[in-house]
Amino acid sequence: MLKTKDILDEKDKRLRLISKEVKFPLTKKDKDLIDTMIKYLHDSQIDELAEKYDLRPGMGMSAIQLGVPKRYFVVVNEITEEDDEEQKFDTYILINPKIISNSMEQIYVDEGEGCLSVNRPVEGIVPRYARVTMEAYDIEGRKIHIRGREELAICFQHELDHLNGILFTDHIDPKNPFKGKDQMRGI
């Protein structure tokens, strides 16, 4: 079982690698890693399991965060309605992803963006597109298009950055961490 300590820390130079395109069909090792990432993200968002297994909650994870420099990431997004008793999730697997369109509107996470590889509080805003359309491949190698809005769009952009060796902290102006806040919408 994947543990929080298995995820590369921001000090690890491998996080700065530009991940390589994936060839199809996927290897068993890649499919197993994708399953492991999904399980971690799913379990980390269920309070009892996160506490039991000491998992830091996360919504997305890129292969590079586990030391594998390949262009894929997984997002497990909670979609539970308030009156639902059971947590429900949408799972996205994006292989060789790219943004093919985006909104002009920019947003940021009010309480600050986070990352499973950054184990410290970070002040500042990260400008992100409010909506993005991603083109990628599914686990079988079929081309897919996925539109993300708000939190999902932010997560897609955050994980895509990982594949390019970029951490969210790179987007924050160290001299003025809240620069441009008045031109964007906080969510």
- Give the other-Cβ count within 10 Å of 167's Cβ: 19
CB-based contacts of 144, cutoff 8 Å, min separation 6: 94, 135, 136, 137, 138
Terminal-to-terminal C-alpha distance of the chain: 33
Q: Are 60 and 158 in contact (CB under 8 A)?
A: yes
118 burial (CB, 10 Å; 0-12 / 13-18 / 19+) is: middle
- Which residue type, as a one-letter code, is found at position 149? R
Catalytic residue selected from 48, 82, 111, 159: 159
- Is 159 a known active-site residue? yes
* Bridge partners for 73 per DSSP: 62, 94
Catalytically active residues are 159
